[in-house]
Chain A
Amino acid sequence: MSQDQRSKILVVEDDAPHADFLRRTLESSGFSIEIVHLQIGEDAVRYLEQTGEYAGASRPDLVLLDLKLPVLSGHEVLGRIKANPSLRDIPIVVLTTSASPSDRELAYQQYANSVLIKSMEFVVFRKMISDVLQYWLGWNQAVVKDPVVSGQPHTAEQTLRAS
């Protein structure tokens, strides 16, 4: 598979250990991906807008966004991206530990493409990540190797139900 076929995922997560775990989970999903990790919301906005030090950054195929971020919160980042006409079609999946309905409702009101509550169980969490990738990137690439998660290839419908 060529470099061009790799899907680019922007992970916005301030908690470095958790970001590392997420990176490992994404990499083990069997998809051909390139991961960019940013800890600060402001950086994420600038990255997507390709301004400042991110002037030459390429546009990601998917953004995984944490809600609890310092300075600019996840909600603010989401709002700013979706308010920008040239960025609003980038799929943004909110990953949060918050079970608060208000958080979820606000995120959907801000046009989040999906809001997922992180599972505490390792296996379920990995399945969830795999489903997300299958749904948002599956059209673009075939599974290059057997995913760690066993089972049938995922359908969009199943992923939606999972979310």
Chain B
Amino acid sequence: MDQVIQKTRARIERYGRLHWFHWLAVVLSLFLTLGVYLTVRGQELDRADQMFQRESSRVLELIQERMQKYEDALWAGVAMHNAVGSELELQDWIDYTESIKIDKKYPGINGIGVIYSVDRDELPGFLGHQREQRPDFQVFPEHDRAELFPIVYIEPSGLNHAAIGLDIAHEQNRYAGAVRARETGQAQITGPIVLVQDEEKTPGFLFYAPFYAPIAESEKSETRSSAGVGEFQGMIYAPFVVKKLMEGALRKETRHLGIRLSDGESILYDELKAEEPDFDPDPMFSYTTTMMMYGQPWTISVHSSSSFRTINQSSKPVLILAGGLLIDSLLLYIFINFAHLNRKTLWFADRVGSELERKNAELEEFVRTASHDLKSPLCTIQGFAGLLGESVRAGDYSETEEFVGYIDRGINRMQSNIDDLLALSRAGQTPNNRVAVDPSETARKLIDDIANQLQGCGADVYIQPDMPAVLCDSLRFSQALENLVINATKYAAVEGQHLEIRIVAVALRDMVKVCVIDNGPGIASEQHERVFSLFERLVVDGEGSGVGLAIVKRICEVHGGTAGVESTPGSGAAFFMVLPKARKQKLAA
């Protein structure tokens, strides 16, 4: 049995600590949490990346698509010009531009116009021809080049009035773009310029589509040397304010990206600045590409915006991480708590064990004492019975009466000892009827009950009238108090001295000390503990059996209190009981 207990104890003790497998479980769980977190976060980032890729390539496509659409409009103008020939009138152009509904279909451009190529020496004739319809037509500004590229028509004219007559050869970027268009025969754009008709003076460019004079079949083989076409006549063109182009092509509300458009070093369009409402100073993604856009190297930078971040900033990975960590913490908490509980269980078991040991020792001591005091008279009875038997057998009856007397007294003593033991046993039962008891009232009743005994020894009893109430079994308290008073009458009475007994009480913190004080001979300090032991008496052949004080002590102990004595030999003794104090309750005597 001991081995089983020891083994179980060792096992509980082992579980009172955290072991490697507990930590392993916690660490594995942490790794799992971290793994899931990283996976989900990776997935979320992938998703965001895909979204960015999709949106940014859409932006590039849209810009290209839009430019292509304008190019088509320009080539349509060229076709229109070629169909009419050199006699293109203003009204023809107005009709054409109205037919293509610039403001609705081509929201990015300011207008669409016609530029002619004029040699300097042909200028007077050209001006004369133009002034037939528009007398105030001017070509401006002056410059030194031999060829001139004046804008003849631009519609809608209201917006673009300032551009009519402008010779685009006056400025390098416009001129270079025009020359490039002429030489390649393809649609081309200029480098960055500021349009004369743009009051805000924001960056812009011109988009040219060149047209050439038709050539006769006979001349074809000779003239198709460089461009493979006839003489360069001019260009259909469209002026762009980049801002308008971008706003027309790419509505900000439908995307979650910021765009910067540059031509070489010059920034044409810029959303990547703090003033932009959707600007993200630390974008999740960015992408930069340079592409040839109708002869100009355009660099397009795309950054994800703050609305992109809002859309893609999923709380899922963080929630998973937080949830996982919470579960891990709970796991650790449970392990720690479990270990703590085991330690507590062990502590409790040890405490109960030592308490049991103490009780066992007490019980052993009780059995030892009880057996001695039961055996002692038995030994005498047996002895005298033996002597009686011998004398009767020898026919000697002289001492028979004496022997029988001894036997009789021995039996009585045994009976009384057994009664005392039973009384002690009853006193030791757990009290389950605890009430607030008034010691003063109990003492008064008690004194009435044993008045005869008190008179017999001539004792005076003083009872403190207002003793604090105690919480206990009223019958047992009464019994304990009686034992103390009887004890005083038995052992404190001295011949020639008037016995005085005082029953008083004092309240301690949450206990009450009830004292029975006598003016007897007192008790030496080394006997103070012993007088409360079972069958202990301080006198020989006295009246008592030596169980009264043991009962008092036992009654106090089962109520959670103590009993003791304070005395100096020669100046009386104060036997006291310390019992729990009663709260304000109905008092029982």
Which of A16, A71, A96, A125 has the most C-beta atoms of chain B within 10 angstroms of its own C-beta?
Answer: A71
Within 8 A of A (CB), among B366-386: 368, 371-373, 375-380, 382-386
Which B residues touch A98, using CB under 8 A? 368, 371-372
> Could you give, for residues 13-41 of chain A, a 1 whenever the CB lies within 8 Å of some chain B CB and a 0 otherwise?
01111101100110000000000000110
Contacts A17-B406, A122-B383 given; indicate if A71 touches B538 (C-beta within 8 A).
yes
Residue contact B540 to A21, C-beta cutoff 8 Å: no
B379→A18 contact, CB < 8 A: yes
| Cα distance, A14 to B406, chains bound together (Å) | 15
Name the 5 nearest CB pairs between A and B, nearest first: A122-B386, A97-B375, A21-B383, A39-B540, A18-B380
Question: Is B537 an interface residue, CB under 8 A from the partner?
Answer: yes
Contact partner, B540, options A14, A97, A123, Cβ 8 Å:
A14
A39 to B383, CA, bound (A): 19
Pull 6 A–B residue pairs with CB atoms less than 8 Å apart, ordered by A: A18-B377, A18-B380, A70-B539, A99-B368, A120-B378, A121-B382
Residue tally, chain B, CB below 8 Å to A: 29
A71 touches B527 (CB 8 A): yes
Nearest CB in chain B to that of A21: its residue: B383
The total number of A-B Cβ pairs within 8 Å is: 73
| A21-B371 in contact given A70-B537, A120-B382, A125-B379 (Cβ < 8 Å) | no
Are A125 and B383 in contact, CB atoms less than 8 angstroms apart?
yes
CB closest chain-A residue, reference B376: A97
Bound: A47/B538 CA distance, A:
19
Question: Which chain B residues (343-372) contact chain A, with CB distance < 8 Å?
Answer: 368, 371-372
- Do B387 and A21 touch across chains, with their CB atoms under 8 A apart? yes
Decide yes or no whether A68 CB sits under 8 A from chain B: yes
Are A103 and B375 interface neighbours, CB within 8 A?
no
- A100 lies within 8 A of chain B by Cβ: yes
Q: Mark A41-73, 1 if CB is under 8 A from B, else 0.
A: 000000000000000000000000000101101
B448 sits at the interface (CB 8 A): no
Chain A CB within 10 A, most for which of B373, B379, B380, B536: B379
| A153 CB to nearest B CB, Å | 22
Q: Are B368 and A21 in contact (CB under 8 A)?
A: no
Measured between alpha carbons, how far is A68 from B387 in the docked complex, in Å?
Answer: 24
Residue of B nearest to A102 (CB): B368
Q: Report how far A73 CA is from B539 CA in the complex, Å.
A: 12
Q: How far apart are A114's CB and chain B's nearest CB, in angstroms?
A: 18
Residue-by-residue, is A93-107 near B (CB-CB < 8 Å gives 1, otherwise 0)?
Answer: 000111110010000
CB neighbours (8 Å) of B528 from chain A are none
Inter-chain contact B406/A20, CB cutoff 8 Å: yes
By size class, the interface of chain A is 20 to 34
In chain B, what residue has the closest Cβ to A38? B540
Inter-chain contact B376/A68, CB cutoff 8 Å: yes
Q: Are A39 and B541 in contact (CB under 8 A)?
A: yes
User: In the complex, A103 Cα to B372 Cα: how many Å?
Assistant: 12
Whether A103 lies near B406 (C-beta < 8 A) is: no
Give the residue of B372, B379, B387, B540 whose beta carbon is less than 8 angstroms from that of A24. B387
If A18-B377, A70-B536 are given as contacts, then 15 extra A-B residue pairs at C-beta distance below 8 Å, sorted by A number, are A15-B376, A15-B380, A17-B406, A21-B384, A24-B387, A40-B540, A68-B376, A70-B540, A73-B530, A97-B379, A98-B368, A99-B368, A120-B375, A122-B389, A123-B386
Nearest-CB residue, chain A, relative to B399: A24
For B375, what are the chain A residues with a Cβ–Cβ distance below 8 Å?
A: 97, 118, 120
Contact indicator B541/A18 (Cβ below 8 Å) = no
A125 to B384, CA, bound (A): 12
* Interchain CB contact (< 8 A) of A100 among B368, B373, B376, B538: B368
Residues of B within 8 A of A97 (CB): 371-372, 375-376, 379
Inter-chain CA distance A120–B380, complex, in Å, is 8
Q: Which of A21, A25, A96 contacts B372 (CB 8 A)?
A: A96
- CB closest residue in chain B, given A73: B530
- Check: B410 CB closer than 8 A to any chain A CB: yes
Chain B residue numbers with a CB within 8 Å of A125 are 379, 382-383, 386
- Asked if residues B371 and A99 are in contact (CB atoms below 8 Å), the reply is yes
Contact B380 A17 (CB under 8 A): yes
| Cβ-closest chain A residue relative to B405 | A17
Question: In the complex, which residues 116-131 of chain A have their Cβ closer than 8 Å to any Cβ of chain B?
Answer: 118, 120-123, 125-126
* CA of A70 to CA of B524, assembled, Å: 13
Interface residue from B373, B379, B387, B536 paired with A120 (Cβ < 8 Å): B379
List B contacts of A15 (CB < 8 A): 376-377, 380
Residue B409 lies at the interface, judged by CB distance under 8 Å to chain A: yes
Per the bound structure, the CA–CA distance linking A70 and B535 in Å amounts to: 9
